[in-house]
Every structure is written in C-alpha cells, then in structure tokens.
C-alpha cells in the first residue's frame, strides 16, 4: 500500500492528469484438471501486479506491470498514451461523479480454499470421478477445478481507498456416456465468491453433482429427436438464465446498448407486466461484490420492471454519456486489463405460478431444463443447445429428448411469455467479452406460448 500511495502522490504532483487510478492484485491461484484418472493440470500460480489508468485531456491511457519497483515510470507511460490518444479523439471522455470510498471488504467464506490442503482437493476430485464412473454408461470424466485467494487494492486520485480480501473457487465437470450405440455428453458447473470450501462439502457435495450429471446424460441416451417447430415451451431456471444473460443482458451493457434495439426502447413496454429482469445481488451468486473496479458501490438494478425496459449497466464513463447514476458494473479480469462494463448476476424475478400450473393445459410442447453452449447477437437473436429436455404431453412430463437446440429472437419471445413460476434457480459460469468475468444467470420456470423454435 505504501508504494502505491507514494506513486499516486508523485503522479498528482508531476502530471496534469484529470484522474489517476491504481489497481493492485496479489492473488495465488490453484488449477487442477483430472481426466479419467490422470491429472493433466496441477499448477499453482502467483498473479501480482498493478493496473494503471490515467485520464488526461479527455482520453484514457492504460498500462500494467508486475514490477513494483518503478511505478512512477509506468504511470508516466499511461499518461503519455492518454495525451497521444487525446489528439485523435473527437468526443472527450468525462466521468460521472462519485463519492470517494474508504473501505475494507472482508470475505464471507467460512473456509477459504487457500486454507484447504492440496491432498483434500485431490481427494475431492477423485471421489467425484469415482461416483460418476459407478454408472456403467459413463465412459469418460473430466473435472476442472480452480481457486484463487489474496488481496486487491484500489487507489484513485479522487480519494478512493478500497482493499478486498478476495477469494473464489470453481469446478466444471464433463461426462461422456454411451448406451445402445448412442453417445451423450453432459456438463455441470459450480462456483462461488461468498462460499468457500463449504461449497464442496455442504452446499454442492459430490453426490448432488453426480446425481445432476447422470440425470442429464441418461435423459439424452434415452431421448428421442423432437419435432421441429414452434410449440409451447416451458423453460427451466438455467435456460431462462442463459436467455437473460446472452440474448438480453448484453444488450443492457451500456457500451453495447448504443448499437442494440434497447437504445430506442428504454421506458417502453417490451414484455407482459408480470415479467421483471434484474441485475442484482443473489445468494450464492458468482458475480457478487460490494464495489466494482472503479470503486463504485454495486447497485441492484431492474433492467425490465413489470414489462418496461428501465435500466442499463453502466461504468462512470457511460453514466456521464447517458446522464445516469453509475451502478457498479465496471469489471476487469485482472490487473492486465482495463475495466469494462460487465454483467454480474442476471436473472428473471419469480412470479406466482406453480410448475404444475405452467404445464397443465399444454396438449403438446416441450420442457427444456438445461443448456449446452449458447450464443446470441446484438439484435437479441439466440441459439442455445439443450442438454436436458422433455416432451410435455397432455399436461404431463413425458419422454426425454436429445440432439436439439432452441432458437429465437429474445425481444419477440419476451412478448410470448404467458406465465412465470414462483421458484428460482441459478447457474454459475464465465462470460467472455474480450476478458473473462465470473457471472451467474437464472430465474424461475417460465412458459413461452411461441417465439421459440425447437428442433
């Protein structure tokens, strides 16, 4: 902290910058990968360095370094980059005002991953593989585990001083199964920033993960090909979440909003009044934090409220452009990157229907439970692979389906939502936007009477 303070004072005394930001990280990361009894990755890495952002003459300059011995030189480098960029910019960057914060953000974890012996982590992965391979149909298992822990510090020329006791852990599991000449693949992911090793022992133990994976795999092995067409669709929380994140969430990131259909729809009704979609703190959410990487308090927002497009995700730069309050969505993958606007936990809010009420009057339709891969475009068109789904026949769940995907245009599909369940579920994972960010997505079961094509 002392070196950072000294370098910041030097910048304030020697440079004519509008704003200087130093973001320090000291994180120890562990990565394990187990594939069919063999550890293909077994690494521990130390990530330590400083990200430097300087705003001068209405332009950004950015530099990063793992060498803390001469921070002043790196700050000057970022300053010169900003000055050079300013000569080419037509529109000068301004930052929305915020109140400087001094705070220490303590980890909520009961048992931090760094406090757990590597032998226990290895035993955990081996046990998960053993449980999965007790099923004769399972032919291959791949488990990837990662955790990190350490310190993050943010100092700015405006007076913000924030230190984080920062920790996370993640596990992705993939199985391949074969039966009666059919092949199937299933995946499952768990992760947390607020739960520690208790995620693995209490919240999401190996038995629970195994049960989910085998259900997904066998639903495909026993499944039939669905009819291609537009039928009533009941989407489970994880599929609802991927639509919220991929097809709608990116449109609500302010740097993308300007080139998306959302630009002209703010304040307008885009869904039935019983539909609300949020970006907010969620218990167990992978995107949870108290402040963003600009030192802005993270605020819950309603992207869609009672069917009306209300709020978008902002950093300080875009908050100034839109004349709005910043809401804490500037995030950087590490000190090697400048923060950009990112999602955290993007979810549809629960309604008041039971699952039975959602399906009871469907003569023929589909229930899609979980996805395998998804993509979307800025017009909200999406395609999502389905790794678990079922036929709905005469108001009841019938046979499973395989080898299928759902497609649609989310802005149109929103209008066809006819009922929202009162339950809630969450999926954790990673989002790429030039950088990787920990995110969650989810919601309740939802019924679409059109707007989604299956097949």
Determine the pLDDT at residue 42: 94
Among residues 175, 195, 222, which one ends one of the domains? 222
**392 and 341 within one domain:** yes
Domain range for 165 is 1-222
**104 and 23 within one domain:** yes
Determine the pLDDT at residue 349: 98
**272 and 203 within one domain:** no
**pLDDT, tens digit (0-9, with 9 covering 90-100), for 246-261:** 999 999 999 999 999 9
Looking up tokens 């599991």, which residue turns up?
173
Q: Which two tokens stand for residue 66?
A: 């793992």
Q: How far apart are CA 389 and CA 406, in angstroms?
A: 11
- The answer to whether the beta carbons of residues 445 and 355 sit under 8 Å apart is yes
The answer on pLDDT for 158 being more than 90 is yes
**395 and 290 within one domain:** yes
Question: 38 forms bridges with which residues in the sheet?
Answer: 35
Averaged pLDDT score across all residues of the chain? 97
Q: How far apart are CA 207 and CA 132, in angstroms?
A: 9
Among residues 194, 222, 250, which one ends one of the domains? 222
Among residues 222, 257, 291, which one ends one of the domains? 222
**354 and 210 within one domain:** no
Looking up tokens 């999406």, which residue turns up?
382
**pLDDT, tens digit (0-9, with 9 covering 90-100), for 206-247:** 999 999 999 999 999 999 999 999 999 999 999 999 999 999
**pLDDT, tens digit (0-9, with 9 covering 90-100), for 408-448:** 999 999 999 999 999 999 999 999 999 999 999 999 999 99
CA atoms in the 13 A half-sphere facing the CB of 189? 23
**168 and 114 within one domain:** yes
3-state secondary structure the chain: CHHHHHHHHHHHHHCCCCEEEEEEEEEEEEEEEEECCEEEEEEEEEEEEEEEEEEECCEEEEEEECCHHHHHHHHHHHHHHHHHHHCCCCCCCCCCCCCCCEEEECCCCCCCHHHCCHHHHHHHHHHHHHHHHCCCCEEEEEEEEEEEEEEEEEEECCCCEEEEEEEEEEEEEEEEEEECCEEEEEEEEEEECCCCCHHHHHHCCHHHHHHHHHHHHHHHHCCECCCCEECCEEECHHHHHHHHHHHHHHHHEHHHHCCCHHHHCCCCECCCCCCCEEECCCCCCCCCCCECCCCCECCCEEEEECCEECCCECCHHHHHHHCCCCCCCEECCCCCCCCEECCCEEEECCCCECHHHHHCCCCEEEEEEEEEEEEECCCCEEEEEEEEEEEEECCEEEEEECCEEEEEEHHHHHHCEEEEECCCEEEEEEEECCCEEEEEEEECCEEECCCEEEC
**186 and 262 within one domain:** no
CA dihedral 174, 178, 184, 190 (to 10 degrees): -20
Domain count for the chain, please give it: 2
Determine the pLDDT at residue 378: 87
Determine the pLDDT at residue 89: 87
**pLDDT, tens digit (0-9, with 9 covering 90-100), for 331-357:** 999 999 999 999 999 999 999 999 999
The answer on pLDDT for 1 being more than 80 is no
Determine the pLDDT at residue 110: 98
**270 and 172 within one domain:** no
Determine the pLDDT at residue 205: 98
CA atoms in the 13 A half-sphere facing the CB of 237? 19
Determine the pLDDT at residue 374: 81
Determine the pLDDT at residue 399: 98
Any idea what the CATH number is for the domain that residue 199 is in? 3.30.2290.10
**216 and 124 within one domain:** yes
Q: Please give the model's pTM, rounded to 2 decimal places.
A: 0.95
**212 and 346 within one domain:** no
**250 and 207 within one domain:** no
**291 and 417 within one domain:** yes
Q: Report the candidate in 95, 98, 99 with the shortest Cα–Cα distance to residue 60.
A: 95
């Amino acid at each position: 902290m002392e070196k950072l303070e000294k370098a910041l004072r030097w910048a304030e005394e020697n440079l004519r910058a509008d704003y200087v930001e130093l973001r320090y990280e000291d994180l120890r990361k562990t990565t394990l990968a187990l594939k069919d009894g063999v550890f293909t990755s077994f690494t521990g890495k130390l990530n330590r360095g400083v990200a430097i952002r300087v705003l001068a003459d209405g332009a950004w300059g950015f530099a990063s370094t793992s060498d803390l011995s001469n921070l002043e030189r790196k700050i000057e480098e970022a300053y010169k980059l900003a000055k050079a960029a300013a000569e080419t910019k037509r529109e000068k960057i301004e930052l929305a005002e915020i109140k400087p914060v001094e705070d220490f953000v303590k980890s909520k974890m009961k048992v931090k991953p760094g406090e757990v012996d590597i032998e226990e982590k290895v035993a955990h992965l081996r046990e998960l593989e053993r449980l999965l391979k007790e099923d004769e149909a399972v032919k291959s298992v791949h488990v990837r585990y990662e955790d990190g822990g350490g310190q993050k510090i943010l100092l700015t020329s405006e007076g913000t001083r924030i230190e984080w006791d920062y920790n996370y852990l993640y596990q992705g599991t993939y199985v391949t199964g074969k039966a009666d000449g059919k092949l199937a693949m299933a995946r499952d992911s768990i992760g947390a920033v607020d739960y520690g090793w208790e995620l693995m022992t209490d919240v999401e133990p190996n038995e629970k993960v195994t049960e989910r994976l085998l259900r997904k795999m066998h639903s495909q092995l026993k499944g039939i090909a669905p009819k291609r067409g537009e039928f009533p669709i009941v989407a489970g929380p994880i599929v609802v979440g991927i639509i919220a994140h991929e097809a709608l969430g990116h449109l609500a990131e302010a740097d993308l909003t300007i080139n998306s259909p959302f630009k002209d729809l703010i304040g307008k009704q885009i869904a039935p009044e019983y539909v609300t979609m949020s970006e907010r703190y969620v218990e167990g959410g992978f995107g949870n934090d108290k402040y963003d990487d600009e030192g802005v308090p993270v605020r819950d927002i309603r992207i869609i409220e009672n069917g009306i497009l209300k709020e978008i995700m902002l950093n300080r730069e875009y908050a100034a452009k839109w004349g709005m309050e910043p809401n804490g969505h500037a995030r950087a993958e590490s000190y090697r990157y400048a923060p950009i606007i990112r999602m955290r936990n993007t979810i549809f809010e629960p309604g008041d229907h039971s699952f039975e009420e959602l399906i009871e009057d469907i003569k023929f339709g589909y229930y899609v439970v979980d996805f395998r891969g998804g993509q979307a475009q800025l017009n909200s068109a999406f395609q999502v692979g389905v790794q678990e789904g079922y036929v709905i026949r005469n108001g009841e769940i019938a046979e499973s389906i395989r080898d299928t995907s759902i497609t649609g245009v989310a802005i149109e599909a929103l209008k066809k939502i006819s009922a929202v369940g009162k339950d809630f579920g969450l999926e954790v994972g990673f989002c790429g936007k030039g950088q990787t960010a920990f995110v969650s997505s989810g919601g309740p079961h939802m019924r679409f009477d059109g707007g989604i094509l299956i097949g």
